[in-house]
Structure 1
Protein backbone atom coordinates (compact mmCIF):
# COMPACT_ATOMS: atom_id res chain seq x y z
CA UNK A 1 0.00 0.00 0.00
CA UNK A 2 2.89 2.35 0.77
CA UNK A 3 4.42 1.41 -2.54
CA UNK A 4 1.20 2.29 -4.30
CA UNK A 5 1.08 5.61 -2.43
CA UNK A 6 4.70 6.41 -3.33
CA UNK A 7 4.07 5.43 -6.90
CA UNK A 8 1.10 7.75 -7.11
CA UNK A 9 3.13 10.63 -5.62
CA UNK A 10 5.95 10.08 -8.15
CA UNK A 11 3.44 9.99 -10.93
CA UNK A 12 1.95 13.28 -9.75
CA UNK A 13 5.44 14.87 -9.68
CA UNK A 14 6.24 13.67 -13.19
CA UNK A 15 2.91 14.87 -14.48
CA UNK A 16 3.17 18.23 -12.72
CA UNK A 17 6.77 19.25 -13.41
CA UNK A 18 7.06 17.45 -16.71
CA UNK A 19 4.16 19.56 -18.02
CA UNK A 20 5.82 22.80 -16.81
CA UNK A 21 9.05 21.82 -18.58
CA UNK A 22 7.20 21.08 -21.79
CA UNK A 23 5.34 24.40 -21.53
CA UNK A 24 8.63 26.22 -20.98
CA UNK A 25 10.18 24.53 -24.02
CA UNK A 26 7.18 25.52 -26.12
CA UNK A 27 7.41 29.14 -24.96
CA UNK A 28 11.11 29.28 -25.84
CA UNK A 29 10.45 27.76 -29.24
CA UNK A 30 7.64 30.27 -29.84
CA UNK A 31 9.92 33.19 -28.90
CA UNK A 32 12.61 31.95 -31.28
CA UNK A 33 10.01 31.66 -34.03
CA UNK A 34 8.74 35.21 -33.39
CA UNK A 35 12.27 36.61 -33.40
CA UNK A 36 12.94 35.00 -36.75
CA UNK A 37 9.68 36.23 -38.24
CA UNK A 38 10.17 39.80 -36.94
CA UNK A 39 13.62 40.11 -38.50
CA UNK A 40 13.39 42.12 -41.76
CA UNK A 41 13.96 40.10 -44.92
CA UNK A 42 17.31 40.31 -46.59
CA UNK A 43 17.39 42.89 -49.38
CA UNK A 44 17.20 41.41 -52.87
CA UNK A 45 20.47 41.04 -54.65
CA UNK A 46 21.19 43.67 -57.28
CA UNK A 47 20.64 42.43 -60.77
CA UNK A 48 23.39 43.00 -63.25
CA UNK A 49 20.79 43.46 -65.97
CA UNK A 50 19.28 46.65 -64.48
CA UNK A 51 17.78 49.06 -66.96
CA UNK A 52 20.01 51.87 -68.15
CA UNK A 53 19.24 55.46 -67.15
CA UNK A 54 17.83 58.00 -69.57
CA UNK A 55 21.22 59.73 -69.75
CA UNK A 56 22.60 56.58 -71.38
CA UNK A 57 20.14 56.85 -74.26
CA UNK A 58 21.66 57.98 -77.57
CA UNK A 59 21.03 61.59 -78.58
CA UNK A 60 18.90 62.33 -81.67
CA UNK A 61 20.76 61.90 -84.95
CA UNK A 62 20.21 65.56 -85.88
CA UNK A 63 22.63 66.59 -83.12
CA UNK A 64 25.46 64.86 -84.95
CA UNK A 65 24.60 66.22 -88.40
CA UNK A 66 26.91 68.44 -90.40
CA UNK A 67 24.24 71.14 -90.49
CA UNK A 68 24.14 71.35 -86.72
CA UNK A 69 27.93 71.53 -86.42
CA UNK A 70 28.05 74.41 -88.88
CA UNK A 71 27.20 76.85 -86.06
CA UNK A 72 28.54 77.10 -82.51
CA UNK A 73 25.24 77.38 -80.64
CA UNK A 74 21.84 75.74 -80.94
CA UNK A 75 19.92 78.32 -78.88
CA UNK A 76 20.59 82.01 -78.31
CA UNK A 77 18.77 83.00 -75.09
CA UNK A 78 17.63 86.62 -74.96
CA UNK A 79 16.36 87.82 -71.57
CA UNK A 80 16.25 90.71 -69.14
CA UNK A 81 18.89 90.55 -66.41
CA UNK A 82 16.19 90.35 -63.73
CA UNK A 83 15.03 87.10 -65.34
CA UNK A 84 18.52 85.61 -65.13
CA UNK A 85 17.50 82.71 -62.89
CA UNK A 86 14.75 81.74 -65.33
CA UNK A 87 17.17 81.90 -68.27
CA UNK A 88 19.78 79.81 -66.46
CA UNK A 89 17.18 77.24 -65.44
CA UNK A 90 16.03 76.89 -69.03
CA UNK A 91 19.60 76.67 -70.31
CA UNK A 92 20.41 73.98 -67.73
CA UNK A 93 17.40 71.97 -68.91
CA UNK A 94 18.42 72.23 -72.59
CA UNK A 95 22.09 71.52 -71.87
CA UNK A 96 21.43 68.43 -69.71
CA UNK A 97 23.24 65.27 -70.97
CA UNK A 98 19.91 63.75 -72.03
CA UNK A 99 19.15 66.82 -74.22
CA UNK A 100 22.63 67.83 -75.41
CA UNK A 101 21.88 71.31 -76.76
CA UNK A 102 24.33 74.23 -76.72
CA UNK A 103 23.00 77.53 -75.35
CA UNK A 104 24.34 81.06 -75.48
CA UNK A 105 23.84 83.21 -72.37
CA UNK A 106 25.29 86.70 -72.59
CA UNK A 107 26.37 86.87 -68.93
CA UNK A 108 28.13 83.53 -69.23
CA UNK A 109 29.41 83.31 -72.79
CA UNK A 110 30.18 86.88 -73.84
CA UNK A 111 34.00 87.27 -73.73
CA UNK A 112 35.35 89.88 -71.34
CA UNK A 113 36.69 93.05 -72.92
CA UNK A 114 34.78 92.76 -76.17
CA UNK A 115 32.18 95.19 -77.47
CA UNK A 116 28.88 93.81 -76.23
CA UNK A 117 26.89 94.80 -79.32
CA UNK A 118 29.44 93.22 -81.68
CA UNK A 119 29.69 90.04 -79.62
CA UNK A 120 25.93 89.85 -79.40
CA UNK A 121 25.49 90.13 -83.16
CA UNK A 122 28.14 87.47 -83.68
CA UNK A 123 26.34 85.14 -81.25
CA UNK A 124 23.00 85.73 -82.98
CA UNK A 125 24.52 84.83 -86.35
CA UNK A 126 26.27 81.82 -84.84
CA UNK A 127 23.10 80.29 -83.35
CA UNK A 128 20.54 78.06 -85.03
CA UNK A 129 17.53 79.23 -82.98
CA UNK A 130 16.73 82.30 -80.92
CA UNK A 131 14.76 82.07 -77.70
CA UNK A 132 13.15 85.25 -76.40
CA UNK A 133 12.07 85.12 -72.73
CA UNK A 134 9.17 87.54 -72.96
CA UNK A 135 8.24 88.88 -69.52
CA UNK A 136 7.16 92.30 -68.22
CA UNK A 137 10.87 92.96 -67.59
CA UNK A 138 11.64 92.08 -71.22
CA UNK A 139 9.13 94.56 -72.66
CA UNK A 140 10.54 97.44 -70.58
CA UNK A 141 14.16 96.71 -71.49
CA UNK A 142 15.61 98.63 -74.45
CA UNK A 143 18.52 96.20 -74.64
CA UNK A 144 16.10 93.26 -75.02
CA UNK A 145 14.26 95.23 -77.71
CA UNK A 146 17.55 95.71 -79.56
CA UNK A 147 18.32 91.99 -79.36
CA UNK A 148 14.80 91.12 -80.51
CA UNK A 149 15.15 93.29 -83.61
CA UNK A 150 18.56 91.80 -84.37
CA UNK A 151 16.97 88.37 -84.28
CA UNK A 152 14.03 89.45 -86.43
CA UNK A 153 16.36 90.94 -89.01
CA UNK A 154 18.30 87.66 -89.23
CA UNK A 155 15.30 85.37 -89.63
CA UNK A 156 11.92 87.08 -90.06
CA UNK A 157 8.89 84.76 -90.25
CA UNK A 158 11.13 81.88 -89.24
CA UNK A 159 10.67 78.84 -87.01
CA UNK A 160 14.06 79.75 -85.61
CA UNK A 161 12.46 82.42 -83.39
CA UNK A 162 10.85 80.98 -80.25
CA UNK A 163 9.13 83.45 -77.88
CA UNK A 164 8.56 81.95 -74.41
CA UNK A 165 6.03 84.01 -72.45
CA UNK A 166 5.74 84.30 -68.67
CA UNK A 167 3.56 86.50 -66.42
CA UNK A 168 1.88 88.51 -69.14
CA UNK A 169 -1.20 88.21 -71.38
CA UNK A 170 -0.90 87.83 -75.11
CA UNK A 171 -2.25 91.34 -75.63
CA UNK A 172 0.93 92.74 -74.06
CA UNK A 173 3.35 90.71 -76.15
CA UNK A 174 5.38 92.97 -78.49
CA UNK A 175 3.58 93.42 -81.81
CA UNK A 176 6.57 92.06 -83.70
CA UNK A 177 6.14 88.66 -82.01
CA UNK A 178 2.38 88.19 -82.05
CA UNK A 179 2.38 86.45 -85.44
CA UNK A 180 4.76 83.78 -84.10
CA UNK A 181 3.92 80.62 -82.21
CA UNK A 182 4.69 81.23 -78.52
CA UNK A 183 5.51 78.87 -75.67
CA UNK A 184 3.46 79.48 -72.52
CA UNK A 185 5.53 79.10 -69.34
CA UNK A 186 2.72 80.13 -66.98
CA UNK A 187 1.08 76.73 -66.46
CA UNK A 188 4.24 74.63 -66.14
CA UNK A 189 7.81 75.75 -66.70
CA UNK A 190 9.05 72.17 -67.12
CA UNK A 191 6.44 71.51 -69.81
CA UNK A 192 7.32 74.80 -71.50
CA UNK A 193 11.02 73.93 -71.42
CA UNK A 194 10.20 70.60 -73.09
CA UNK A 195 8.30 72.43 -75.85
CA UNK A 196 11.29 74.70 -76.44
CA UNK A 197 13.53 71.65 -76.74
CA UNK A 198 11.15 69.99 -79.22
CA UNK A 199 10.98 73.15 -81.32
CA UNK A 200 14.77 73.47 -81.55
CA UNK A 201 15.23 69.78 -82.26
CA UNK A 202 12.54 69.84 -84.95
CA UNK A 203 14.26 72.72 -86.70
CA UNK A 204 17.59 70.90 -86.64
CA UNK A 205 15.94 67.74 -88.00
CA UNK A 206 14.16 69.60 -90.79
CA UNK A 207 17.27 71.42 -91.92
CA UNK A 208 19.45 68.32 -91.66
CA UNK A 209 16.95 66.41 -93.80
CA UNK A 210 17.07 69.15 -96.43
CA UNK A 211 20.84 68.77 -96.60
CA UNK A 212 20.68 65.09 -97.51
CA UNK A 213 19.18 65.38 -101.01
CA UNK A 214 21.42 68.32 -101.91
CA UNK A 215 24.46 66.33 -100.80
CA UNK A 216 23.36 63.35 -102.89
CA UNK A 217 22.71 65.50 -105.97
CA UNK A 218 26.14 67.14 -105.72
CA UNK A 219 27.70 63.70 -105.49
CA UNK A 220 25.81 62.59 -108.59
CA UNK A 221 26.94 65.67 -110.51
CA UNK A 222 30.54 65.05 -109.48
CA UNK A 223 30.34 61.39 -110.53
CA UNK A 224 28.88 62.34 -113.91
CA UNK A 225 31.64 64.87 -114.45
CA UNK A 226 34.32 62.28 -113.68
CA UNK A 227 32.70 59.71 -115.93
CA UNK A 228 32.50 62.20 -118.84
CA UNK A 229 36.24 62.80 -118.56
Structure 2
Protein backbone atom coordinates (compact mmCIF):
# COMPACT_ATOMS: atom_id res chain seq x y z
CA UNK A 1 0.00 0.00 0.00
CA UNK A 2 2.80 2.38 0.98
CA UNK A 3 4.74 1.42 -2.15
CA UNK A 4 1.77 2.23 -4.36
CA UNK A 5 1.40 5.66 -2.67
CA UNK A 6 5.10 6.49 -3.14
CA UNK A 7 4.98 5.29 -6.72
CA UNK A 8 1.97 7.51 -7.41
CA UNK A 9 3.70 10.56 -5.94
CA UNK A 10 6.88 9.97 -7.97
CA UNK A 11 4.82 9.56 -11.11
CA UNK A 12 3.11 12.90 -10.51
CA UNK A 13 6.48 14.62 -10.01
CA UNK A 14 7.89 13.13 -13.22
CA UNK A 15 4.81 14.12 -15.20
CA UNK A 16 4.65 17.69 -13.82
CA UNK A 17 8.33 18.69 -13.71
CA UNK A 18 9.30 16.59 -16.71
CA UNK A 19 6.85 18.58 -18.83
CA UNK A 20 8.28 21.88 -17.55
CA UNK A 21 11.82 20.70 -18.31
CA UNK A 22 10.87 19.70 -21.85
CA UNK A 23 9.30 23.13 -22.40
CA UNK A 24 12.43 24.83 -21.04
CA UNK A 25 14.73 22.77 -23.29
CA UNK A 26 12.57 23.57 -26.30
CA UNK A 27 12.66 27.28 -25.45
CA UNK A 28 16.47 27.24 -25.15
CA UNK A 29 16.80 25.49 -28.53
CA UNK A 30 14.54 28.15 -30.09
CA UNK A 31 16.65 30.94 -28.61
CA UNK A 32 19.82 29.39 -30.06
CA UNK A 33 18.20 29.39 -33.49
CA UNK A 34 17.48 33.17 -33.33
CA UNK A 35 20.50 35.42 -34.14
CA UNK A 36 21.38 37.59 -31.18
CA UNK A 37 20.98 41.35 -31.68
CA UNK A 38 23.20 43.46 -29.48
CA UNK A 39 23.48 47.20 -29.07
CA UNK A 40 26.77 47.05 -30.99
CA UNK A 41 25.06 45.67 -34.08
CA UNK A 42 22.55 48.50 -33.83
CA UNK A 43 25.20 51.16 -33.59
CA UNK A 44 27.34 49.65 -36.34
CA UNK A 45 24.40 49.44 -38.72
CA UNK A 46 24.80 45.67 -39.30
CA UNK A 47 21.78 45.07 -41.55
CA UNK A 48 22.48 41.29 -41.82
CA UNK A 49 21.16 40.61 -38.35
CA UNK A 50 19.06 43.71 -37.59
CA UNK A 51 15.40 43.76 -38.69
CA UNK A 52 14.36 46.91 -40.51
CA UNK A 53 11.87 47.82 -37.78
CA UNK A 54 14.63 47.66 -35.17
CA UNK A 55 17.01 49.69 -37.34
CA UNK A 56 14.33 52.35 -37.72
CA UNK A 57 13.77 52.31 -33.98
CA UNK A 58 17.48 52.77 -33.33
CA UNK A 59 17.72 55.61 -35.82
CA UNK A 60 14.67 57.30 -34.31
CA UNK A 61 16.09 56.95 -30.79
CA UNK A 62 19.39 58.48 -31.86
CA UNK A 63 17.60 61.35 -33.57
CA UNK A 64 15.46 62.05 -30.51
CA UNK A 65 18.51 61.86 -28.27
CA UNK A 66 20.40 64.32 -30.44
CA UNK A 67 17.44 66.71 -30.37
CA UNK A 68 17.02 66.51 -26.60
CA UNK A 69 20.74 67.09 -26.09
CA UNK A 70 20.74 70.31 -28.14
CA UNK A 71 21.86 73.04 -25.74
CA UNK A 72 19.51 75.87 -24.87
CA UNK A 73 20.38 79.44 -25.94
CA UNK A 74 22.88 81.03 -23.55
CA UNK A 75 20.56 83.97 -22.91
CA UNK A 76 18.28 81.64 -20.94
CA UNK A 77 21.08 81.25 -18.38
CA UNK A 78 21.75 84.98 -18.05
CA UNK A 79 21.36 86.97 -14.87
CA UNK A 80 19.15 89.46 -16.69
CA UNK A 81 16.63 86.78 -17.60
CA UNK A 82 16.35 85.60 -14.00
CA UNK A 83 15.45 89.10 -12.76
CA UNK A 84 11.81 88.34 -13.67
CA UNK A 85 9.90 85.20 -12.77
CA UNK A 86 8.31 84.57 -16.18
CA UNK A 87 9.46 84.90 -19.76
CA UNK A 88 5.92 85.04 -21.16
CA UNK A 89 2.59 86.06 -19.69
CA UNK A 90 -0.24 84.52 -21.73
CA UNK A 91 -3.30 86.76 -21.84
CA UNK A 92 -6.36 84.96 -23.18
CA UNK A 93 -10.07 84.39 -22.79
CA UNK A 94 -11.23 81.72 -20.36
CA UNK A 95 -12.99 80.08 -23.31
CA UNK A 96 -9.66 79.65 -25.09
CA UNK A 97 -7.86 77.87 -22.27
CA UNK A 98 -7.04 74.82 -24.41
CA UNK A 99 -5.37 76.97 -27.08
CA UNK A 100 -3.41 78.83 -24.40
CA UNK A 101 -2.31 75.58 -22.78
CA UNK A 102 -1.14 74.25 -26.15
CA UNK A 103 1.03 77.31 -26.70
CA UNK A 104 2.38 77.16 -23.15
CA UNK A 105 3.27 73.47 -23.56
CA UNK A 106 5.25 74.30 -26.70
CA UNK A 107 7.16 77.18 -25.11
CA UNK A 108 7.80 75.27 -21.86
CA UNK A 109 9.05 72.12 -23.58
CA UNK A 110 12.56 71.22 -22.29
CA UNK A 111 13.92 71.85 -25.79
CA UNK A 112 12.61 75.46 -25.59
CA UNK A 113 13.06 76.19 -21.90
CA UNK A 114 10.76 79.21 -21.45
CA UNK A 115 8.70 79.99 -18.35
CA UNK A 116 5.05 80.89 -18.95
CA UNK A 117 2.35 82.35 -16.77
CA UNK A 118 -1.14 80.88 -17.19
CA UNK A 119 -3.73 82.55 -15.00
CA UNK A 120 -5.73 79.37 -14.35
CA UNK A 121 -2.62 77.41 -13.44
CA UNK A 122 -0.31 79.89 -11.74
CA UNK A 123 -2.67 82.26 -9.93
CA UNK A 124 -2.27 81.94 -6.16
CA UNK A 125 -5.26 80.34 -4.47
CA UNK A 126 -7.22 82.97 -2.62
CA UNK A 127 -5.45 85.78 -4.45
CA UNK A 128 -7.35 88.70 -5.97
CA UNK A 129 -7.75 88.17 -9.72
CA UNK A 130 -6.78 91.66 -10.80
CA UNK A 131 -3.87 91.84 -8.36
CA UNK A 132 -2.50 88.50 -9.52
CA UNK A 133 -2.74 89.57 -13.15
CA UNK A 134 -0.93 92.86 -12.54
CA UNK A 135 1.84 91.07 -10.67
CA UNK A 136 2.21 88.53 -13.49
CA UNK A 137 2.37 91.26 -16.14
CA UNK A 138 4.94 93.20 -14.12
CA UNK A 139 6.96 90.03 -13.50
CA UNK A 140 7.12 88.85 -17.15
CA UNK A 141 9.55 89.81 -19.89
CA UNK A 142 6.99 89.50 -22.72
CA UNK A 143 3.23 89.36 -23.09
CA UNK A 144 1.39 87.23 -25.62
CA UNK A 145 -2.14 88.48 -26.29
CA UNK A 146 -4.14 85.61 -27.81
CA UNK A 147 -6.73 87.45 -29.90
CA UNK A 148 -9.77 85.34 -30.77
CA UNK A 149 -13.47 86.17 -31.19
CA UNK A 150 -13.81 85.31 -27.49
CA UNK A 151 -11.01 87.71 -26.54
CA UNK A 152 -12.67 90.65 -28.31
CA UNK A 153 -15.97 90.22 -26.43
CA UNK A 154 -14.43 89.69 -22.98
CA UNK A 155 -14.10 92.76 -20.75
CA UNK A 156 -11.42 91.12 -18.64
CA UNK A 157 -9.35 90.44 -21.78
CA UNK A 158 -9.68 94.10 -22.73
CA UNK A 159 -8.37 94.96 -19.26
CA UNK A 160 -5.40 92.59 -19.74
CA UNK A 161 -4.56 94.19 -23.09
CA UNK A 162 -4.60 97.75 -21.73
CA UNK A 163 -2.53 96.77 -18.72
CA UNK A 164 0.07 95.20 -21.02
CA UNK A 165 0.08 98.37 -23.13
CA UNK A 166 0.60 100.48 -20.03
CA UNK A 167 3.50 98.26 -18.89
CA UNK A 168 5.37 98.42 -22.21
CA UNK A 169 3.80 100.72 -24.80
CA UNK A 170 5.22 100.41 -28.31
CA UNK A 171 7.73 97.78 -27.25
CA UNK A 172 8.71 94.34 -28.54
CA UNK A 173 7.46 92.91 -25.28
CA UNK A 174 3.88 92.81 -26.59
CA UNK A 175 3.23 89.97 -29.05
CA UNK A 176 -0.28 90.12 -30.54
CA UNK A 177 -1.33 86.65 -31.72
CA UNK A 178 -4.46 86.01 -33.77
CA UNK A 179 -6.43 82.78 -34.02
CA UNK A 180 -9.74 82.21 -35.82
CA UNK A 181 -9.74 85.92 -36.51
CA UNK A 182 -8.68 88.10 -39.48
CA UNK A 183 -5.87 90.55 -38.86
CA UNK A 184 -8.18 93.43 -39.65
CA UNK A 185 -10.20 92.64 -36.50
CA UNK A 186 -7.34 93.52 -34.16
CA UNK A 187 -8.08 96.41 -31.77
CA UNK A 188 -6.99 99.79 -33.09
CA UNK A 189 -4.31 100.05 -30.40
CA UNK A 190 -2.47 97.13 -32.00
CA UNK A 191 -3.60 97.41 -35.61
CA UNK A 192 -0.14 98.56 -36.76
CA UNK A 193 1.92 96.28 -34.50
CA UNK A 194 3.45 93.14 -36.00
CA UNK A 195 1.30 90.17 -35.04
CA UNK A 196 1.66 86.40 -35.21
CA UNK A 197 -0.95 84.63 -37.35
CA UNK A 198 -1.87 81.15 -36.10
CA UNK A 199 -4.63 80.68 -38.67
CA UNK A 200 -2.46 79.23 -41.44
CA UNK A 201 0.24 77.30 -39.63
CA UNK A 202 -0.07 77.06 -35.86
CA UNK A 203 3.27 75.40 -35.24
CA UNK A 204 5.13 77.95 -37.37
CA UNK A 205 3.37 80.69 -35.40
CA UNK A 206 4.51 79.08 -32.14
CA UNK A 207 8.09 79.15 -33.42
CA UNK A 208 7.69 82.83 -34.32
CA UNK A 209 6.57 83.60 -30.78
CA UNK A 210 9.47 81.65 -29.32
CA UNK A 211 12.01 83.43 -31.53
CA UNK A 212 10.49 86.82 -30.73
CA UNK A 213 10.89 86.21 -27.01
CA UNK A 214 14.48 85.03 -27.49
CA UNK A 215 15.30 88.05 -29.64
CA UNK A 216 13.91 90.40 -27.02
CA UNK A 217 15.89 88.72 -24.22
CA UNK A 218 19.07 88.72 -26.32
CA UNK A 219 18.76 92.41 -27.24
CA UNK A 220 18.09 93.41 -23.65
CA UNK A 221 21.03 91.33 -22.46
CA UNK A 222 23.34 92.97 -25.00
CA UNK A 223 22.20 96.43 -23.87
CA UNK A 224 22.70 95.43 -20.26
CA UNK A 225 26.23 94.23 -20.93
CA UNK A 226 27.01 97.34 -22.99
CA UNK A 227 25.88 99.59 -20.15
CA UNK A 228 27.98 97.65 -17.66
CA UNK A 229 31.05 98.00 -19.90
CA UNK A 230 30.47 101.76 -20.27
CA UNK A 231 30.09 102.20 -16.54
CA UNK A 232 33.26 100.23 -15.84
CA UNK A 233 35.20 102.35 -18.34
CA UNK A 234 34.04 105.50 -16.62
Q: For this structure pair, what is the TM-score category when the shorter chain's length is used for normalisation?
A: 0.7 to 0.9
Alignment match, 2:25: none
Output one character per residue of 1:20-65: Cα deviation in whole Å (capped at 9) or x when no partner: xxxxxxxxxxxxxxxxxxx9987671328x5642121111011111
Instruction: Give the Cα separation in 2 of the matches to 1:131 and 1:64.
Output: 22
The alignment partner of 1:74 has SS state of strand
Match for residue 99 of structure 1? Answer: 112
Q: 1:199 aligns with which of 202, 212, 220?
A: 212
For residue 136 of structure 2, what is the aligned residue in structure 1?
A: 123
Aligned length: 183
- Which residue in the other structure is 2:87 paired with? 74
The equivalent position to 1:187 in structure 2, one of 200, 211, 226, is: 200
Whole-Å Cα distance in 1 between the matches of residues 211 and 163 of structure 2? 24
Instruction: Give the TM-score normalised by structure 2.
Output: 0.74
Counterpart CA distance in 1 for 2:91 and 2:140 is 12
Aligned partner of 1:46 in structure 2 is: 42
Secondary structure of 2:162's counterpart equals helix
Matched, 1:140 2:153: yes
Query: Is 1:149 matched up with 2:149?
Result: no
Compute the displacement of 1:188 (Å).
Answer: 1.2
Partner of 1:61: 74
Aligned CA distance change for structure 1 residues 40 and 197 (closer, same or farther; 3 Å): farther
Distance in 2, Cα, partners of 1:202 & 1:40: 55
| Structure 2 alignment gaps of length 5 or more | 1-32, 45-61
TM-score, scaled to structure 1: 0.75
Uncovered stretches (5+) of structure 1, i.e. residues with no partner:
1-38, 222-229
CA distance in 2, matches of 1:113, 1:61: 37
- Bigger relative contact order, structure 1 or 2, given CA contacts below 8 A and separation 6+? 1
Q: How does 1:5-16 map to 2 (within 5 A)?
A: none
Structural RMSD (CA): 2.0
| Cα 1:140–1:56 shift into 2, 3 Å | same
Structure whose alpha-carbon radius of gyration is higher: 1
Partner Cα separation in structure 2 for residue 92 and residue 40 of structure 1: 44
2:99 pairs with 68, 86, 92, which one? 86
